[in-house]
Each structure stands twice: as C-alpha cells, then as structure tokens.
Chain A
Amino acid sequence: MAGFDKKDAGPALPSIVLGAAVLVFLILAPFVLSNYWLRVLTSILMYGIVAQGLNIIVGYTGYHAFGNSVFFGIGAYSTGVGMALGLPFGLALALTVPVAVVVAVMVGWPLLRLSGHYFAIATVALNMAMMEMVINVGGITGGAQGLALPINPMGPAMLYKIIYLVMLLILAGATATVYWLDRGSLGYALRALRDSEQGAQVMGINTTAMKIMAWAASGSFTALAGGVWAYWFTFIEPSSAFDINISIKGYVMMLMGGLGTVFGPLIGAAFLELFATIIWGKFLKIHLLLLGMLIVLVVTLMPQGLLHHLRWFKRRGKPKEVIR
C-alpha cells in the first residue's frame, strides 16, 4: 500500500518464484493428493474466499461485516434451490452473484449508514434474520429439515476434484479483484472513506455508492464460496449454511494474515486451517485450547499480521503502518 508511485518496481524476484511454485502446486494438487488432504486444501481455499471477501469490506472499506456469513448462506441456498429446480450446477452457482448483489444493495443502502460496532451487530442480526427466514419459508428451501442437492452422477472422486478446482478459480478471482482494488483508484476511494468518510466526500468520492459496491463484491465472492460448499456437502441446513462461525473464522484468518493486504487473508487461511487440522489430529481432547492459544500468540506478537513479517512479500523501501 505504501507509495503507489513506486509500483513499477514490482514484486521482488523471490516472491514471484514462490508465488509461481504455489500456483503450480495448487493446480496439480487434485491429481497428486489423497482425498483427505484434498479435502483439507479445498477447505483452505473456501475459507480463503471468505477471508478475502471480508478483506474487501473490512480491510479496505473499514466496515466490520461480522455477519458476512449471511452471504455464504444465501449462496448455499440459492445454489441449492436452483439445482432443486433443475438448473445445472454451473448456472445455479452463477446466479448466486446477482442474488448476493441484490441483497447487498437493498440491505446495504440502509445498513451502511451505520458505522463501527453498530454495523457489525446489524450484519450479525441480518444473518440471524435470513436463517429464520429460510426456516420459516419452508417449501422449496426445505425449511428447518434442510435441503438435499441432486447427487452428482460422476462419482465422488471426480466431484471433489471439480469442487476443488472451482474453489481455486473463485479464490483466484477474489484475489485478482483485491489486487486490482489495491492498485487502482477505486481502492483509494475505499481506503479514503475508511479513514475519514467526510474527508472523502468533500474530495469528490461518492461514499455511499462505494460502500455498497464494496459490500456487493464482498458478498458475491462469499456467496460463490457458499454455493460451491452446498454442492460439495450435498446437504445443507439453515444452521450450517448461515453459521456465524464461518465469518468469525474468516475474520481471524484475515487478521492473522494481515487485513488490507492482497495476500494476507490467503496466508492466514492456509496457516490457521493447516494448524487446526494438525492440532486436531494430534491433540484431540485439547485441540481448541491449543488453537486458541496459537491465535492469541499470533495476534499479540504480530498485530500487523503474518504477511508483514514475511519479508519476501514486503514491498521494499517504506515502513508499513500498523493496520487495525
């Protein structure tokens, strides 16, 4: 973020090499990894999308959308209902984007006038309201009983590979979007209104439109993750699709990796999910305790996030400010 006029310098060579290696690994992964590790990796990607989605509205725009899991649920249910109505997976998934955008615009217009913890609480309430709505609408959504998606005829092994690759594609899209935001004038508009809304307004920035747009983008990616998750698990119910823990976990990942940075949320997602898996495997009885301690340690010792301390990625030259 520091010094965008220096961007011609580009990222350092080691980070290009490392990035390319990671990308090659991610593309080859479904063909070499066991089903277990593929599953772990898929879930890292899924949370990476959730964290990256949060990064747009929280890290860049400064609106703490704690209840962003509402979009995860909306994505899961619009994909689920779409497929129950006979749409193919791809089309049902694609339709989650307009659904998420409509919700973000309709709800965001009043909600984004709130700020700070008022907005955070309002999004949590929105998540609960949506969950109740799905339960009570019943009918095609399956209500409280949940909704079973059509079983894929190609068998689980193939399906899991496809699920993985779709997640990867969406995460790449989300990261490319954030990269573009980070460099472009739109990202400056968001960061300006994050730091001072009135200051941004009198400098010609339509803050209302910018906030809604940011939330719509954030919600769209989150909804896509939810949609793929629904097909992955093939059975969804309101309490697991609108699970607030999804956004809380994404939040922790974003904070750990470094919010307001392009790759921070991805690093946070990989770090936390991998450690959670390993700790869970080794210390079944006290894994939550250990995981909690780990989070406390990382957040206290590295409040700026892991990314800040991975010097390779750090753009050279200027000190980065503490971002909280």
Chain B
Amino acid sequence: MTLLEGKAISVSFGGVQALSAVDLSVHEGDVLGLIGPNGAGKTTLLNAISGLCPARSETLKFNGTEISRLKPHRRAKLGIARTFQVVKPFDRLTVVENVAVGAMFSGHKIPTRSRVIERARVALEQVGIASKADLFPRQLTLSERQQLELARALAMEPALLLLDEVMAGLNHAEIEKTMALIQHINKNLGITIVVVEHVMKAIMNVCNRIVVLHFGKKIAEGTPARIVESPEVIQAYLGKRFADRQRRDLAQRAAQP
C-alpha cells in the first residue's frame, strides 16, 4: 500500500528551482533512500513533505489524506515525523523532556504525565542514550545529539519517519550502530522510513528502494542494484570507481546464501 504519494512536487526559492515536478511514492514498509549531490534538493523534498517550505504539487497524499495545504504540526499529528540534519534540540529542556515533547503533542494522545515520561524513556533506550536522560542537549556529543533527534521522532510513534543525514559526522562504529537501529525501527516497529544520506554503504545496505535527485529533478529510481547500474547516476553522483565496487559488493552479497 502506498503510504505517501506525491505527484509533481515543485519548490522554488525566488528564481531558483529547488525541485521541479518530482514524483515520489513511498510504500508501507519501505526504507527509501534519497540520494544525490549537494544541492540536489533532498532536504527540500523532506521539507516539502513535512510542510516546512512552501511547495506546489498536483497531489501530496499521506495515508489517503491530501496534506499539501496542511501546516507542519497537522502533518506531524497525522503521523509524519522527521529529524533535522542541523539538529534542533530544545536547549533549555533536559534530554528526556525533549523527547517527552514528542510524546505529548503527537497524534497519539497519551493520557498521563507518567506515561509520557515512560514513552520518552523507551525512545531513549531505543536509540541508546537512556543514561543521558537528565542532561541538557549541549552536554551531549554530536552523535548523541543526532540520536536525540531520532528519539524525539520515535516518541511520536509515527507512521512515516524522515531522516535527514542522521549519520553525518559519525565514525565507523557509530554508523554501523545507526544502520542497525534504522533496520530495527523499520522491521520491528513497523515504521516506514525515508533516509537522506551521503554514507553510501548505509544507503546500499538498509534501503530497499532508492530515488536519485540531481538539480531538483529525479534522475533515477529503483533497487540499490539497479541504481548502481544507472549511467546517469554514476555520471551525476556515484562516480565510476565507486559504482563498480558497489556492484561487486552487491553481487558478492547476492551470491552468499
């Protein structure tokens, strides 16, 4: 079933066409990768979906509801959660309070204060920073702050989760952990995910479908195996050497039982 259906999504800032007529459909259970060079319009597309930037589209339907005219908070209540590449924590609330805000105002009404806290703590457990619950965001490391973004989104118990470069600046071990976390969120919590990411290893491993943007246009869409074959994508983004290596890796993995 299609969870998010966007037709001809366009965004322009003054004379700059940031997105031109991009079609996007996200199916329930997908982990959809959104890749492309810097300035391709990946974050803009996430902003258009979450309602943070004015976008035009033929349709933008979430769960069958037309959302293109809804404000960001209404979309959030319908079940769309997101993280920001440049993290936006509530600096003067503690970590657990930050996450509790997600539980408080999402579409799922949580009746009591203690349940809200309980929910927030579960989300902190899930991303692995439960021990930092009572600190303030500025006392966290960058990777912990990125996990805080993720925890806040998880506490909303969304149907669709938009991740904007949650792995940027992380080290190898942290990337492995985050990849496992994304797969856990998708498989065990049943949340459909759209990831914007430059860490190609992660994209190739966790995504079942990939959409490639270039200068605001969609230039390719398909499975990871198809994407590394696409000459346009190699030309625009991946580069030949990288694509060859990815193809080899994918083939190797396919050969293994």
The interface of chain A, by Cβ under 8 A from chain B, is 1-5, 185, 188-189, 191-192, 194-196, 198-208, 260, 318, 321, 323
Contact = CB atoms under 8 A, between A and B. Distances in A.
Given A5-B114, A188-B100, A189-B105, A206 B92 contact: no
A5 B52 contact: no
Given A196-B91, A203-B76, 8 more contacts: A5-B117, A191-B93, A198-B52, A202-B50, A202-B75, A204-B73, A204-B105, A323-B92
Given A201-B72, A204-B76, A188 B104 contact: yes
Chain B: interface residue count, which band?
35 or more
A196 B102 CA distance: 13
B94 to A, nearest CB: 6
A199 B93 contact: no
B59 to A, nearest CB: 21
B92 A5 contact: no
Contacts of A188: 93, 97, 100-101, 104
Nearest to B162: A202
Contact of B101 (A192, A198, A207): A192
A206 B89 CA distance: 17
A195 B106 contact: no
A203 B161 CA distance: 12
A282 B101 CA distance: 51
B76 A198 contact: no
B134 interface: yes
B71 interface: yes
A206 B81 contact: no
A201 B71 contact: yes
A187 B181 CA distance: 32
B76 A202 contact: yes
B114 A203 contact: no
B185 to A, nearest CB: 17
Given A4-B113, A5-B96, A201-B52, A195 B90 contact: yes
